[in-house]
Amino acid sequence: MSDLLITNIGQLVTNDGRDDDLLGIITDAAVGIRGGVIAWVGSTDAVPSNLASLPMIDARGVAVVPGFVDAHTHVVFAGDRAHEHAMRLGGATYEEIQDAGGGIYSTVSATRDVNLAELVLASRERAVRMLASGTTTVEIKTGYGLDTETELKMLDAIDAIDASLPIDVIRTYLGAHVVAPEFRDNRSAYVELVTGEMLDAVSKRVDFIDVFCDDVAFSLAETERIVEAGKRVGLDVRLHVDQLSRSGGAALAASVGAVAADHLDHATDADLALLASAGTVAVLLPGVSLTMQEPPPDGRRFLDAGVTVAIATDCNPGTSYVETMPFIIALAATTSGFTPQEALWSATAGGAAALGLDDRGVIAEGRLGDLVMLDTPSYEHLVYRPDGDLVRRVIKRGIPV
């Protein structure tokens, strides 16, 4: 059953508006879905007679918004780093945390140590919570394996999540997350592995290639080399750039035609102009700033520069163990200079743009029937009640989850 008619929607956010109406709001609305695809959008008293026989949900006046698109996550991992976070909040330095066995390498070793079933069990629970909170499309990266065998195991886990849940998964190869521990004295050999054997093993199974371009990870020159290798085998590009310092990654993302450039805390105004003219989507991650006690991203600056902006959870065990997009929407609006409208748009249509997907993020004829029914009469409650569990019902391709 992927046919559905939803009537009596108090406030429908379509994202299909004009310049002065970013969210394209329709009141007293109805949406008809056939075969998982939106067939009609309009007001409840104008539902065409040929849709009247579809299975029906009466929304009883609540708000309905597009399904959330979480365009940057590292949901597949083993273990956790709660103690590391507590140490940091207690004043521990980066070195003290490393000495205590924390940091990204602890997640790499935990992820290598578990078998596939254990990895799926831990990771799938997170994806279930994402779906329950309204995320209908999620991007998931590899990058805690850093050897071919474990990167493939991560992809097997991602496939298992995709196959067992009504959530669409976009796959990103992040072999270039950091240099694998056994290669720390031979970086160039690791870049060789990432662009050679490992890339060959994964390239048919992923949509994007990604690199963490930063002082603690890969240089601009290394990033360029890895990106070119990915493009040669047909992968689209998205990059972690200018997070801890300005390395020039945003400018590189624009110049290689990346679909998205993520983090961007240290990007300059000139960098933003390059992203805007290249059409590269900026993915801002306010959960990271919150977790790391850093200044929040300045969304206003990006929006005013004409950059297309997405917001995402960056769900990961080190710097943002955040699973729900409603919380990110609230954070973006209360700490990062977004209006509530812009925050919601960036979590839906913006997320879709950041994944290069033009079939979702908008409630209009011909788009996927991915919708979130809230418990409230207006989408503004998403920002107003940041800890609220306001999602009543999730509809994925016309099917109530």
Q: Which residues bind Zn ion (CB under 5 A)?
A: 314
Residue 90 CB, shortest distance to Zn ion, in Å, is: 25
Shortest CA distance to 70 belongs to which of 140, 164, 147? 140
Q: Which residue is nearest to Zn ion (CB)?
A: 314
For Zn ion, the closer CB: 14 or 137: 137
Which of residues 88 and 397 has its CB atom nearest to Zn ion in the complex?
88
Which CB sits closer to Zn ion, 242 or 314? 314
**Token digits of residue 263:** 């983090």
Q: In whole angstroms, how close is the CB of 320 to Zn ion at the nearest point?
A: 8
Q: Are the beta carbons of 64 and 31 closer than 8 angstroms?
A: yes
133: left (phi over 0), alpha (psi -120 to 50) or beta: alpha
* CA–CA gap between residue 47 and residue 206 (Å, rounded): 41
State both tokens at 292.
């790391």
For Zn ion, give the closer residue by CB, 24 or 143. Answer: 143
Our CB check for Zn ion shows the closer of 222 and 314 to be: 314
- Give the nearer residue to Zn ion in terms of CB position, either 241 or 363: 241
Q: Is 259 exposed, middle or buried (0-12, 13-18, 19+ CB in 10 A)?
A: buried
Structure token pair of residue 197: 């054997």
Q: How far is the CB of 72 from Zn ion (least distance, A)?
A: 6
Closer CB to Zn ion, residue 62 or residue 146? 146
Residue 168: closest CA among 125, 209, 127, 210: 127
* CB nearer Zn ion, residue 15 or residue 172: 172
CB of 104 to Zn ion, least distance (A): 11
CB of 204 to Zn ion, least distance (A): 23
Q: What's the one-letter identity of residue 160?
A: A
Contact, 264 vs 252, CB < 8 A? Answer: no
Nearer to Zn ion, 214 or 314 (CB): 314
Count other Cβ atoms within 10 Å, centred on residue 393.
17
Residue 278: Cβ within 10 Å count: 18
Report the Cα–Cα distance between both ends of the chain, in Å, rounded: 12
Give dist(CA 192, CA 304) in Å, integer: 40
Q: Tell me how far, at minimum, the Cβ of 210 lies from Zn ion, in Å.
A: 8
Give min distance, CB of 41 to Zn ion, in A.
34
**Identity of the residue, 175 or 369, whose beta carbon is nearer to Zn ion in the bound complex:** 175
Helix (H, G, I), strand (E, B) or coil at 78: coil
* Residue 130 one-letter amino acid: M
Helices 340-347 and 325-335: crossing angle in degrees, nearest 10, is 140
From the list 304, 333, 171, the residue with the least C-alpha distance to 236 is: 171
Gap between the Cα atoms of 5 and 397, Å rounded: 12
CA diameter of the chain: 70
Shortest reach from residue 241's CB to Zn ion, in Å? 11
Rg (CA), the chain: 21
Give the nearest distance from C-beta 209 to Zn ion in angstroms: 14
